Amino acid sequence: MEDSPKEIVPLPQEFYEQPTLDLAKALLGCLLVKESDQGMTAGYIVETEAYIGPGDRAAHSYNNKRTARTEIMFHHSGLAYTYLMHTHCLFNVVSGGEEKPEAVLVRALEPRYGIELMKTRRRIQDLNNLTNGPGKLTKSLGVTMDDYGSSLTLPPLYIAKGIFPDCISVGKRIGIDNSGEAKDYPWRFWITNNKFVSRHQKSEYEIKIKSVNN
């Protein structure tokens, strides 16, 4: 039976001001929380991808492309960057700082709180298939385009301390085959052997680490 959450405190702004590749690793194990009138839902982040524009051909902000969609990436770090892909809303953490359009895509969560509400939103009962993908996790948590630009340091959408992974796997990002040399950058990170990762593949290397998000 799911236990009740203790006091959950959003991480401070300073957490988001670290370099994007460091942030992508530090987010692993953190608790992504969304509060709503229906209740609170939350899960541990188990998979991320870093996008470092303007030199990253896979980034929406490649070559400093500034549009209505990417505008928030040019703002300060610690904001929510949501966008639609094939009707699914995807959630990113803005990083890099002012005028440095970078972001971290959250690809998968391990469900923790509000699991029954997540199942209702997804209309499925399979826990393992609930949040193991970027579109699945946003629907489970109720993250929408209305969250675009919101600060992640305060409710209703925020990130808090969670668990500390013992080992992080590193590999190529997924679904960016048309991005030239950027498709080979090892900028995907996931908690090693976590069953909620969106896609299991051989890692390029692993990082043994005591804690990355304290």
C-alpha angle 86/87/90, rounded to 5°?
85
Amino acid (1-letter code) at residue 75: H
Higher-scoring residue by pLDDT: 3, 136: 136
142 vs 130: CA distance, rounded Å? 13
Residue range 51-68, pLDDT digits in tens: 998 898 889 888 788 999
Beta bridge partners of 151: 79
Cα–Cα dist 211/28, whole Å = 10
CA atoms within 13 A on the CB side of 192: 14
Q: Is the pLDDT of residue 186 over 80?
A: yes
Class of domain 13-208: alpha beta
- Residues 142, 41: contact at Cβ < 8 Å? yes
pLDDT at 4 over 70: no
The structure's pTM equals 0.92
Q: Within the chain, where are the H helices?
A: 20-26, 115-122, 134-141
- Domain residue limits, the chain: 13-208
Q: Is 55 helix (H, G, I), strand (E, B) or coil?
A: coil
How far apart are the C-alpha atoms of 26 and 23, rounded to whole Å?
A: 5
Q: Which residues of 106-131 are buried (b: 16+ CB within 10 A; e: fewer)?
A: bbbbbbbbbbebbbebbeeeeeeebb
* β partners of residue 110: 44
Q: What is the pLDDT at residue 60?
A: 86
The mean pLDDT value for 170-178 works out to 90
Query: What average pLDDT does the segment 185-213 reach?
Result: 81
> What tens digit of pLDDT does each residue of 98-126 get?
999 999 999 999 999 999 999 999 999 99
